[in-house]
Structures are given as structure tokens and as C-alpha cells.
Amino acid sequence: MLRVRQVQRSSDEQKPRKNFTAGTNTNFPITMDVALLHIIVRRLEAAYGRQTRYSTKSPMDQLIATILSQRTNYADEMQAFNQMRERFPTWEEVASAPTAELEALIQPSRFPELKAPRIQEVIRRIIADHGDTELRFLNDLTTEAAQAYLMSLPGVGYKTATFVLLFSLRRPVLPVDTHVHRVSTRTGVLPFKTSQEKAHILLLSMLPKDPDELLNFHKLLFHHGQQVCTFSYPRCHSCVLKDVCAYYDKGVPTFGK
């Protein structure tokens, strides 16, 4: 049973709360707060601006960069990516490189001993399936088919596939990383214990199926999770969401002014 919170909302936020329970088709009988989600988007847009920048990377570059980004910060991901591409300028060269050398080059990324052979395996599979490494064929597939292909690659899960599909191919999917997940569950848009896997599906069901809107939502929550609603030290006192946030409402100890 979810607790109903009494939150102060400004006059333009006094709209009926359109909470709903996900239907049986999702297998998630969970109550979601759609009205709160829209309030959060408006407030974070006011704080950070509308987010419109897609990736300039090709789908293949985005795919490999996303593998390198797993459990790794952006600066280290980019260092690993650039070191790899400077030594091996083509993906074919990366695929046939000595694995130990590739592992050393991507050392700034965490778990290079796992990622080096995985990257080579992914590239080899794509070449075997399609003859090159451009991933151009994804443009001819439906979003569902493109996602299914990406997720059939070794070590590529929902999150990695959605990064490629949204940021490089502008398809209507929603990547839910640790920041998007944390902000969504702490504020109460989703129940606190919703898993990251379920959050992918639930949040997508609450948002317009428009890549521009999904990109904006992802980046706003990413920025907020990275800069304010951090894992260990959320700065609730200076947060623009504190009057509508379930976590703050519960009086959970927070940090900063």
C-alpha cells in the first residue's frame, strides 16, 4: 500500500494527480505518479534548460563507448575510448588486436579484462552477421527489431541498447541509468524499491513516445542525479524538488545547504 503524500504544489501544478497502476500486460502492479513526473520535468527544465543534444558518435562508436562506460565515469570512458582508437583506428583492427594489448589500452575503464574480449567478440559478431562494422542496417529495422539485434550481442543489455537507439539513432526508447533510476524512485515517481530493469518499462509507459522528449527526460534526471541527488550525499536542502520529494518528505538524513 503506497502512502499518499501531502505536497505543496504551485498553482500551475495543482492538476489532478493522474496516478495509475500498470496493467497486467507489464506484470508490474505498481502505482506510478505521472503528475509528479511532469512537475519534475518542468522544474528541472527551469533549472538546467531544455536538453536537446544527441550524440555525435556513429551507432558503432556509441555501442563500444557505452560498453566502456559501464561502472566508469565519463572522463575515464573517453580516455579508454580515445587510447583504443588512436592505437587501432578501425574496428576491424580492434577486433584482431592482441587482447592483452587492448585490455591495457582500455585500462582507465573499469573491468578491462572483461570488456576487452567482449568488445572484440561484439565486433566479430557484427562483421560475421553484416559484413562490416557500420551498423547501417539498424536504420532499416523497426525499433523493436533493432533493439532485439543489439541485445543479442554478447554482454549488451537493455541499457546499452537503448543508449545506442536513442542517442545515435533517435529512436523512442528510454535509457535508465543509475541517476535516472535514483531520482525517479527517491522522488516517488516510482515506488522506492522498483528495480532499474522495471523502471525502464514503467517510465517509458509514462512519457510521450517522442525521442526529443525522452532525450530531454533522460538528460535532466541524469544531471540532477549526478549533481544534486547523488548516491551518498544528496543535497536536498538546495534541491528544486524537495517540496514534492518522497525521500525528503520522510526526513531521510541529507547533506549540504
Which lies closer to ligand SF4 via its Cβ, residue 43 or residue 200? 43
Least CB distance to ligand SF4 at residue 238 (A): 8
CA distance linking residue 189 with residue 40, whole number of Å: 9
**112-115 long-range contacts, Cβ below 8 Å, gap at least 24?**
112/80, 115/67, 115/68, 115/70
Dihedral-angle region of residue 172 (phi above 0 means left; psi in -120 to 50 means alpha; beta otherwise): beta
Least CB distance to ligand SF4 at residue 229 (A): 3
Which lies closer to ligand SF4 via its Cβ, residue 28 or residue 248? 248
Least CB distance to ligand SF4 at residue 247 (A): 4
The CA–CA distances, whole Å, from 45 to 33, 132, 231 equal: 19, 40, 22
Binding mask of the shown chain, residues 144 to 183, with x at each position contacting ligand SF4 by CB under 6 A: ---------------------------------------x
Sole binder of ligand SF4 in the list 115, 118, 186, 219 (CB under 6 A)? 186
Which lies closer to ligand SF4 via its Cβ, residue 160 or residue 194? 194
> Contact between 211 and ligand SF4 (CB under 6 A)?
no
The CA–CA distances, whole Å, from 107 to 26, 57, 62, 204, 237 equal: 39, 21, 18, 34, 38
What is the footprint of ligand SF4 within residues 214-253 (CB under 6 A)?
Answer: 228-229, 234-236, 239, 241-242, 245, 247-248
Residues that bind ligand SF4 in the complex, under the rule CB under 6 A: 183, 186-187, 228-229, 234-236, 239, 241-242, 245, 247-248, 254
